[in-house]
Structure 1
Amino acid sequence: MPEPSTPASARPQGRIAGPVLVVGAGLIGTSVALALGAAGHEVWLADASPENVRTASGLGAGTPVPPGREGDVALAVVAVPPDALGAVVSSTLLAHPAAVVTDVGSVKVQPLRAVLAGPAADEAARYVGSHPMAGSERSGPLAASASLFQGRPWAVTPHADADVDAVETVEDVVRVCGATPVWLTPEEHDRAVARTSHVPHLLASLVAGRLAEAPEQHLSLSGQGVRDVTRVASGDPALYGQIVAGNADAVLALLGEVRGELDRVIAAIGGGDRGGLEAVLARGVDGTRAIPAKHGGPARAMSSVWVSVPDTPGELARLFADAVASGVNIEDIRIDHDPGRPTGLVELVVDARRSEHLLVSLEERSWVTHR
């Protein structure tokens, strides 16, 4: 009886050939393994924690490396903490002499320097760094998903001597995982994530730190604004400490700029310089407008409609149904819970030209709204 054929949707595509080794079976590594496995690739798993490998294997992400077959690896994806990246990439290059090696770490210059200065320097042409811009508040293999990278940007950061086939293989990994490749040098990447991730995280932590010992009366006034500003500060301090330390040069350069701006704010407030203060605030408005809009398009003028929603089952679903009935596309949604009342405020972000229509439509359906 003939073997059943593999569905076309699950047949390996592109330049990725042979078994794929994923080193590090945490959230990102297991998600990569699940996505590649779903595309028909044979995936092997390795991790310093045998429990992580067992858990990821149980999820269908792959299997442990078969004994004696280490030399068969054609592609290796290194997904370990930042402090270990350079050493693990180097050891992976040496252990698998035919494999293209990429990593999915948050910093790119530091691991590349370690590889070029280490025992695997002569093999560095097979190494191409990368970084998927996706994650979760949860960690570990149980938080993994094959769809984690769908529609997300994924930086591909080849160094000057990287082999062209290796670069194209890594691009195929990105596309197989459903992400969109963004091409940057390692240096450009680290400057970019310092600006859009690492420094914002540090500033959020500084603001959140002012709340840790605040009087209860102060905290009772907390609204969505302070939650928005501090949300990322709840991340794992050990992990983010590694990330920031690994990108020290780019982070320090930006922090110097922020310190200069903070000095200007202090001087403006202390000296009653309203114009100087407003100039800093206006610059902040310019920055928010520079952030790409949904689907990466140009920023558009948005407006918010606030709706008071009782905190009872079914009310949020009713609001969404009524918003759909209005014919207005909802661009974003945020929920602000009022500590003093059994209601929440739902912020519906819409095209500014359509906000009035949405407000009137919801009020006709008995919702309490404001802008």
Structure 2
Amino acid sequence: MRTAAVIGTGLIGTSAALALAGRGVVVHLVDHDAERVRTATALGAGTEEPPEGPVDLAIVAVPPARVAGALAAAMESGLARGYLDVASVKGGPRRELEALGLDLSGYIGTHPMAGKERSGPLAASADLFEGSPWVLTPTRDTDTEVLNLALELVALCRAVPVVMDADAHDRAVALVSHTPQLVSSMVAARLREADETAVRLCGQGIRDVTRIAASDPRMWVDILSANPGPVAEVLSAIAADLDETVRALRALTSAEAGERREGVSGIEDVLRRGNAGRARVPGKHGAGPAAYEVVAVLISDRPGELARIFADAGRAGVNIEDVRIEHATGQQAGLVQLMVEPAAVTALGASLRERGWSVRP
């Protein structure tokens, strides 16, 4: 691939353009918002100049509702040898394209499973997709050359290709992406009118659950509007669990011992099913879930402290598999949780204590 066109210079489009430009591909940027194109160009994502002839690949990075129209316009103008989109919903846009009567042999639907709470070109980065799954949804009509161009794009962005049926993809993302967004927003909405005293008690748990609630509502309305059925099905199952859990909690207040036992059983059931589901979430590098141990260390909030503790862990010969920071409310300190292999816990704790760190049990 020597040339590409990116239609839509938001987070995903600009990040793909940055990755391609950084690897020597000439990228032509297109967007109805001229200011966003100028911003992406200034970041080094490509050029505002139109291509002199067909580019190798056109990447359509617009909201799902606009995918079919943008692709149709690009195809009719002969913009590229191959076309793909990166929308988070795949079945609907393809059916819209089929209804337009276009030759879809030169098109493949794709979806990079990466993103941020922030949107727009200023949030973009060339390494956004690195190590993330990038779904490809070819059909029997997809031209081999177009599939190869899509695979080359995935490789240049250092992502991991995953081939799926379009409708199966939409059901999958309803479960692992779209529903979590809504649930996160629903939990965060409870904080809106909460007493200030309660809000001040927010810890890492509520921060984890509500992190993605900071996402752009307009973007998510576009996404959810394109995949309402599968999302509603998942939410319906969650609603059933919520009803059962509410009944179990109310049973715990009963004066009858039998009802209380049923309540305990109901709560335990949903928690254990949650354990089982969480255990299926892929671990580091996409491998199976790993059972890491936590070494918790008190750390001050000043420049260089994180670098120092990572360096000290390296001197102990221990690899940090993952890391989290739990900030102390109202204090310039917090707990850094270093996730390591179980066999490394004792050695790392002892080494860090020797170097003056306060290791918590």
Q: Same-fold call, TM > 0.5?
A: yes
Residue 305 (str. 1) matches residue 307 (str. 2): no
Structure 2 equivalent of residue 6 of structure 1:
none
Q: State the 1:309 CA deviation.
A: 1.3
Shift of 1:281: 0.3
Counterpart for residue 19 of structure 2: 35
**Matching residue within 323, 335, 342 for 2:313:** 323
Aligned-partner Cα distance in 1 for 2:40–2:123: 10
- Please name the residue that 2:97 is paired with: 115
Structure 1 residue 110: deviation in Å?
1.5
| Alignment match of 1:54 (pick from 34, 38, 45) | 38
Counterpart for residue 341 of structure 2: 351
Amino acid aligned to 2:78? H
Provide the residue aligned with 2:71 in structure 1.
89
RMSD: 1.9
Residue 281 of structure 1 pairs with residue 274 of structure 2: no
Q: Tell me how far 1:28 sits from its aligned partner.
A: 1.6
**Displacement after TM superposition at 1:278 (Å):** 0.7
SS in 2 for 1:182: strand
- Pick the aligned partner of 2:47 from 63, 69, 87: 63
Counterpart CA distance in 2 for 1:207 and 1:356 is 38
- 1:294 corresponds in structure 2 to 284
User: Are 1:158 and 2:108 an aligned pair?
Assistant: no
Structure 2 portions without partners, runs of 5+: 252-259
1:55, CA displacement in angstroms?
Answer: 2.3
- Using the alignment, how far apart are the partners of 1:341 and 1:359 within structure 2? 24
Bigger Cα displacement from structure 2, 228-237 vs 84-93: 84-93
Alpha-carbon offset, residue 138 of structure 1: 3.2
User: What SS class does the counterpart of residue 63 from structure 1 fall into?
Assistant: coil
- CA distance in 2 between partners of 1:85 and 1:66 (Å): 20
Q: Could you tell me which runs of 5 or more consecutive residues in structure 1 were left unpaired when the two chains were aligned.
A: 1-15
What is the CA-CA distance between 1:166 and the residue it aligns to?
1.7
* Aligned-residue identity in percent: 46
- Whole-angstrom distance in 2 between the partners of 1:358 and 1:66: 56
How far apart in 2 are the matches of 1:178 and 1:198?
24
Task: Kindly state the Cα deviation for residue 200 of structure 1 after the two structures are TM-superposed.
Answer: 0.9
Cα distance in structure 1, aligned partners of 2:168 and 2:332: 48
Supply the distance in 2 between the matched residues of 1:49 and 1:110 (Cα, whole angstroms): 25
**Which of 191, 213, 234 is residue 233 of structure 1 equivalent to?**
213
TM-score normalized by the length of structure 1: 0.89
Query: Structure 1 residue 97: deviation in Å?
Result: 6.8
- d(CA) in 2 for partners of 1:30, 1:269: 48
What is the number of residues matched between the two proteins?
351
Q: Which residue of 2 aligns with 1:103?
A: 85
TM superposition shift of 1:294 = 0.5
Q: Give the distance between the partners of 1:170 and 1:240, measured in 2 at CA.
A: 25
Retained in 2: the 8 A contact 1:93–1:99?
Answer: no
CA distance in 2, matches of 1:98, 1:326: 53
User: Per the alignment, in what secondary structure is the counterpart of residue 99 of structure 1?
Assistant: strand
Aligned partner letter, 1:41: V
CA–CA distance in structure 2, aligned partners of residues 113 and 252 of structure 1: 20
Per-residue displacement from partner, 1:297-332 (whole Å, max 9, x unpaired)?
Answer: 121212222211122333333322222222222111
Q: Tell me whether 1:170 sits opposite 2:160 in the alignment.
A: no
Q: How far is 1:292 from its partner?
A: 0.9
Pairing partner for 1:335 from 325, 339, 345: 325
TM (norm. structure 2) is 0.91
